[in-house]
A = this chain, B = another copy of it.
Amino acid sequence: MADRSTPPGKRPATPSGKHPATLDRSQLHPAVSDPALRSMNFLNEIMGRFPDAVSFAPGAPHPRFFADLDVPRHLDSFLDHLVRTRGLSRDEAQLELYQYGPTAGLINDLVADMLRTDMGIATTPEAVVITVGCQEAMFITLRALRATAEDVLLVTEPGYAGIVGAARLADMEICPVPESPDGWDVAELRAACRALRAAGKTPRAAYCVPDFANPSGAAMDLTARAALLEAADEEDLLILEDSVYGFTASPEKAPAPLKAMDRSGRVIHMGTFTKVCLPGVRVGYVVADQLVHGAPGGGSSLLAAELTAIKSMVTVNTPAISQAVIGGLLVESGGSLAERSAALSAFYSGNRRRLLEALEQHFPASARAEHGVRWLAPAGGFFVVLTVPFPVDDTLLEVSARKYGVLWTPMNHFFAGAEGGTHQMRLSFSYLDPDRIDEGVARLADFVRRQAVGV
């Protein structure tokens, strides 16, 4: 491990002048070299280097909705709630925020109520685990479901890098399945399951973002959802539903979450308060009401309890202060985030239309025909995928940032298996002010035109 043969002069000295031991990357878990884990760092780094660029890169929520946040007030509201509902004194309630808390969470009752009210998901506080963002929910769920090296997670391709990264850390093999414009392609899913079984593997679960997937924006209608659930039953699969962009649907058009349609307990539902409330508290959740038989002393438990056991060795518990901020927001809004979601949805829909209009304006039909530039118009979410007539990658992104002052995400970051998305870029419209969207698309059009003709 210590590379004693390296001359000391070749090692950068630490601040204290010591020469630290060196490691080789081959001595570390292979995940650290996986593209899924490198891409997020790369994107953060390039945004930091070009702070004045218009960035279509990050899928972060728009800060305008932070204006009415008031952390001390939310903490107070949650303390009031604890006093009212749990018979605690104010001091005892305060202690709940400062001391260690239950690993499964402190606001499970409020979250279960919100899921029932806002999403039609009937569940109990005991089936909910509060997590450090949706990412921890994904990781602990995959860690639980990966029992042997044969267990496989099915993901759409393109798809969210976070689920692939979590699978890498859990040493869980993934099987990428091409995504259709309607999300999961059930025929492809069944074919993949058959092929996996023929190869001696066990398809355990399929990850699904039914509402406006990241990066494609694909959405599944009710028929597609029902077909997916039926396939899950027949293929003996669990569905890991990620509801992160569901709130951006027009309220009257939002299909029921898979979990609300789930008649046979196939769905493990995951969500986050990051986009609807704020990222700075990192509060997510997982609903896992499946029964697990074969406990050491006999009897059964909820899968949520098994996820809680895993969480106890990853983060012990989600910070009580963070949970209390979300708890306070929920209490203040009468247990429902529907009104807040509707306001956010209206804003993001406006941004989406603005981006689509700017694309129409800067890439008129003649130019689109000539250069083969094209895009689909999603009905929600945070993203539009642009296809261009030349290959794009991280190197070209750097050119775009330096010479044209505009950032985007190369779509190849969202392909875990074979090469893909080579001529595509993901444009995020969530984070930008509307006028910056216009400016950004003008810059992008300039870049694409010059790149297309080889200037």
Chain A residues close to B by CB (< 8 Å):
1-3, 11-12, 14-16, 18-33, 36-38, 40-41, 44, 58, 60-61, 63, 66, 69, 71-72, 75, 94-95, 97-103, 122-124, 127, 132-133, 135-136, 139, 143-147, 162, 165-166, 168-169, 171, 204, 233, 236-238, 262-266, 274, 278-283, 289-296, 300, 303, 305-306, 308-310, 312-322, 325
B279 x A38 contact (CB < 8 A):
no
A58 to B101 Cα, complex, angstroms: 12
Q: Given known contacts A123-B14, A280-B320, is B310 in contact with A169 (CB within 8 Å)?
A: yes
Further contacts, 8 of them, CB under 8 A, given A29-B144, A61-B99, A98-B279: A2-B265, A15-B122, A18-B263, A25-B306, A44-B103, A71-B71, A100-B274, A169-B314
B37 x A293 contact (CB < 8 A):
no
20 A-B pairs with CB atoms under 8 Å apart are: A2-B236, A14-B122, A20-B290, A22-B292, A27-B145, A28-B144, A28-B306, A37-B312, A38-B309, A40-B103, A41-B103, A41-B308, A63-B99, A98-B280, A132-B319, A135-B316, A139-B313, A162-B313, A168-B313, A319-B321
A237 to B23 Cα, complex, angstroms: 11
A303 — which chain B residues lie within 8 A by C-beta? 23
A32 x B306 contact (CB < 8 A):
yes
Question: Nearest Cβ distance between residue A312 and chain B, in whole angstroms?
Answer: 5
Chain B residue at smallest Cβ distance from A131: B315
Q: Given known contacts A21-B238, A41-B308, A300-B22, is B314 in contact with A58 (CB within 8 Å)?
A: no
A19 x B264 contact (CB < 8 A):
yes
Question: Nearest Cβ distance between residue A412 and chain B, in whole angstroms?
Answer: 15
A295 — which chain B residues lie within 8 A by C-beta? 25
Task: Choose from B99, B144, B313 the contact partner of A279 (Cβ within 8 Å).
Answer: B99
Query: SS class of chain A's interface: helix, strand, loop or mixed?
Result: mixed
Question: Nearest Cβ distance between residue A143 and chain B, in whole angstroms?
Answer: 6
A18 x B265 contact (CB < 8 A):
yes
B123 x A319 contact (CB < 8 A):
no
A300 to B12 Cα, complex, angstroms: 10
Chain B residue at smallest Cβ distance from A62: B99
A171 x B168 contact (CB < 8 A):
no
Question: Nearest Cβ distance between residue A207 and chain B, in whole angstroms?
Answer: 14
A233 — which chain B residues lie within 8 A by C-beta? 2
A94 — which chain B residues lie within 8 A by C-beta? 66
Chain B residue at smallest Cβ distance from A66: B98
B26 x A147 contact (CB < 8 A):
yes
Chain B residue at smallest Cβ distance from A325: B321
A132 — which chain B residues lie within 8 A by C-beta? 132, 315-316, 319
A236 — which chain B residues lie within 8 A by C-beta? 1-2
B75 x A262 contact (CB < 8 A):
no
A310 to B135 Cα, complex, angstroms: 12
A32 to B288 Cα, complex, angstroms: 15
A280 x B37 contact (CB < 8 A):
no
A59 to B50 Cα, complex, angstroms: 47
Q: Given known contacts A166-B313, A319-B319, A322-B322, is B30 in contact with A147 (CB within 8 Å)?
A: yes
Chain B residue at smallest Cβ distance from A30: B147
Question: Nearest Cβ distance between residue A244 and chain B, in whole angstroms?
Answer: 13
B280 x A32 contact (CB < 8 A):
no
A289 — which chain B residues lie within 8 A by C-beta? 14, 20
B1 x A238 contact (CB < 8 A):
yes
Chain B residue at smallest Cβ distance from A3: B293
